[in-house]
Structure 1
């Protein structure tokens, strides 16, 4: 049984749980930024945090808010050794809550939810929400049904490939009237058979490039192809309970990576149209939990489109924590204590960046301004650094230096 389901039980159940809290939480997942942000959000409120299913060299484990790291067998779909080890760990430590922090941990637990110990408090979303949110094509169809703007798009299946590319003359532009550039998105970022291999979206600039992409890189479950939309990336970050939003913050991307991720972001005032679109989706999915709903918004025209749902903690979570929107602790309060009344008192105009990735994005884009003054005078927050928790940032810089040195050494050896 998930905690999302437990919260729906009578208040006496909530009262009984409050009497037996250990104030201990287990985090699962290998996204360093998210793991660290969740640990800080919980640890600063007196909750002891353990971590597992992550790299033992993860910078997040250097945080003062991570009490212990546990080495567990990785998930495999063909045997339950991983599950036995996870159950043993949870039983030994009696955690209030087990939180999967990224797709690597979310997907196995969602798919194997019937095997999970019903006496353990697992954070899971309902199965209908999981099936929609983790399938980009289904997400887009549901959004369209709700009258929410989506990019001009088409879904390509294996049957389409077999018919269309038999003589190498398939032209998606003629067939579906899409305009380039387009983004080719696997329906799911990861699959149960290989949770360690994340499948990213790819930008394609011509019909010939698209043909090559679909011929050589086409996944078995198909792809969603979407036109590029001119606008800034906006994230609507929420905590919801039974289909109602109980906490919200919005941010915009200031700089992005070539593969579509963000490296520099800022909290912004609410854009009502995006709030309403998010509300419709949350209600339709009867959503309980955290999530980030992605949009593109054109500030000149006011036009916008909905892109996808991150039905888990999101990569830019450090920004929300810096802006005093503590989603991890609010999730704990909701699912463990039954709290549903949250006062969002976050700060507008807060900026946060992933320092090393932002340097790389800045160099690649040949941007004219790096906002160095903001960085030097402490106006910007960093994903890995906090005044009360500086060791994770030091670890990332050491790892980066080792990587640079290693590349330099290999080049020198190759030239000798």
Structure 2
């Protein structure tokens, strides 16, 4: 039984949670931003943080709030070496809580939950919520059943492709009356058979391009195809217990990457319609834990659609930490101490950016303004930098410089090689 399920039991009490408290947490995952934000949120409150299942060169490991990094065998669906390694580690240090921080760690633990040591406190969501939240088609169906707005969409299965859509004449516009561009989304971001490779959504601008995707890139478990919706990306970030929202903040995306991620974000006043839609989903799933619910909102018309659930810590978590909404520590207080009374006095108008990725997005989109003044005069926060914890940002800049130098060196060597071949011919 996971700790999230334990705390849902009527007999669960404050004293039971505290009995073996060590104030030590193990984080699992390979998302640098999330690991760092969770470590800071916990470490600044006196909780010792260890990390495993991460790249040993991760900038997050440079944080003063990461006590130790442990090398554990990666997950494999074919043997249990990874499980044995994890069990040895958690037995040795008797962690209060083990938190999988991104899909790379969440999916294996959720799928193998029956094998996990029942005496260890694993943070897992209930299985029904997992089955819905980690399947975009199921998520959309549940939202529709609850009366929540979703984009105009259709689901395409492998059987559809085999029986009717195997040539370039296939036209989604003709068959489903959807308007291009559309976004083609694999039903799940990763699969148990390949947790290392994330499957991203892809924008498709024409029926021919869609047919090409279906023929050459179609995943076995099918895709969800959604119309593009004109509006700003809004995230509703929550901590919930037994289907009741305990903490909430909202943010909007100021700049996005081409694959749908964000590089620059801002905390905003609550949009009531999105709050209510989130509440319905949380209640329906009897959700206990953290999550971010994604929407598109048109500020001119007031129209909006729900997109998906990130049923884990989300990529823009550094913004919440900067705005004084400490979801990692609140999760610890809920699951380890049984606390359910939280007051979010977060700051509106806080902006946070992933510096290097934001520079790339700015260059790619040819945006008119980079908000350089905000950056130079410290008005914006950075995902990797904090005054009390600056080494992770330095590590990201060093890695970036090495990458640029490596590309330059390869181009230079290639140029010399071409010149030598030309001279030899002459």
Work out whether the TM-score is over 0.5: yes
Contact 2:237 2:290 in 1 (8 A): yes
Deviation string for 1:60-79 (max 9, x for gaps)?
00000000000000000011
Cα offset, 1:20, TM superposition: 2.6
Does residue 158 of the first structure (1) align with residue 158 of the second (2)?
A: yes
Query: In the alignment, which residue of structure 2 is the partner of 1:127?
Result: 127
**CA shift at 1:13, angstroms?**
4.1
**Aligned partner of residue 4 in structure 1, secondary structure:** helix
SS at match of 1:73: coil
Q: CA deviation at 1:287?
A: 0.2
Count of residue pairs the alignment pairs up: 416
Aligned with 2:37: secondary structure?
helix
Q: Could you say which residue in structure 1 is the equivalent of 2:380?
A: 380
Contact kept, 8 Å, 1:351 with 1:381, in 2: the verdict is yes
Q: Distance in 2 between matches of 1:132 and 1:183?
A: 20
Per-residue CA distance 1:11-67 (angstroms, 9 max, x = gap): 664313314310000000000000000000000000000000000000000000000
Whole-Å Cα distance in 1 between the matches of residues 321 and 169 of structure 2? 51
Match of residue 199 from structure 2: 199
Please, which runs of 5 or more residues in structure 2 have no aligned partner? 417-426
Distance 1:13 1:199 in 2: 40
The 3 A distance-change label for structure 1 pair 12 and 35 is closer
SS of match in other structure, 1:356 = helix
Q: Which residue of 1 aligns with 2:419?
A: none
Q: Answer yes or no: is the 8 Å Cα contact 2:170–2:208 preserved in 1.
A: no
Quick one: distance in 1 between partners of 2:348 and 2:250? 9
Tell me the equivalent position of 2:9: 9
Task: Name the SS of the counterpart of 1:86 in structure 2.
Answer: helix
Aligned counterpart, 1:66? 66
Asked if the contact 1:7/1:14 (under 8 Å) is kept, the reply is no
Q: Specify the SS of the correspondent of 2:40.
A: helix
Question: Which secondary structure does the structure 1 equivalent of 2:27 belong to?
Answer: strand
Q: How does 1:17-416 map to 2 (within 5 A)?
A: 17-416=17-416
Question: Which secondary structure state, in structure 1, belongs to the residue aligned with residue 209 of structure 2?
Answer: helix
Deviation (angstroms), 1:163? 1.8
Q: Name the CA distance, whole Å, in 2 between partners of 1:366 and 1:9.
A: 53
Which whole-Å CA distance do the structure 2 matches of 1:133 and 1:226 have between them? 17
Give me the whole-angstrom Cα distance separating, in 2, the residues matched to 1:61 and 1:255. Answer: 27
SS of the residue corresponding to residue 292 of structure 1 reads strand
SS of residue paired to 1:123:
coil
Shift of 1:376: 0.5
Distance 1:12 1:115, change over 3 A: closer
Q: Is the 2:64–2:389 contact (alpha carbons within 8 Å) kept by the matching residues of 1?
A: yes
TM-score by length of 1: 0.99
Q: SS of the counterpart of 1:369?
A: coil
1:220 and 1:411 mapped to 2: Cα distance?
Answer: 38
Output the CA distance in 2 between the equivalents of 1:33 and 1:289: 19
- In the TM superposition, what is the alpha-carbon distance from 1:10 to its structure 2 partner? 4.6
Q: Secondary structure at the match of 1:280?
A: helix
Name the SS for the 2:76 alignment partner. Answer: coil
TM-score by structure 2 length? 0.97
What is the distance in 2 between the residues matched to 1:314 and 1:56? Answer: 21
Q: Distance in 2 between matches of 1:334 and 1:236?
A: 19
Q: CA deviation at 1:170?
A: 1.6
Shift of 1:281: 0.2
**Secondary structure of 2:215 counterpart:** helix
Q: In 2, Cα distance between the equivalents of 1:166 and 1:229?
A: 28
What root-mean-square deviation, in Å, do the aligned CA atoms of Structure 1 and Structure 2 show? 0.8
Offset from partner CA, 1:352-385 (integer Å, 9 cap, x none):
0000000000000001100000000000000000
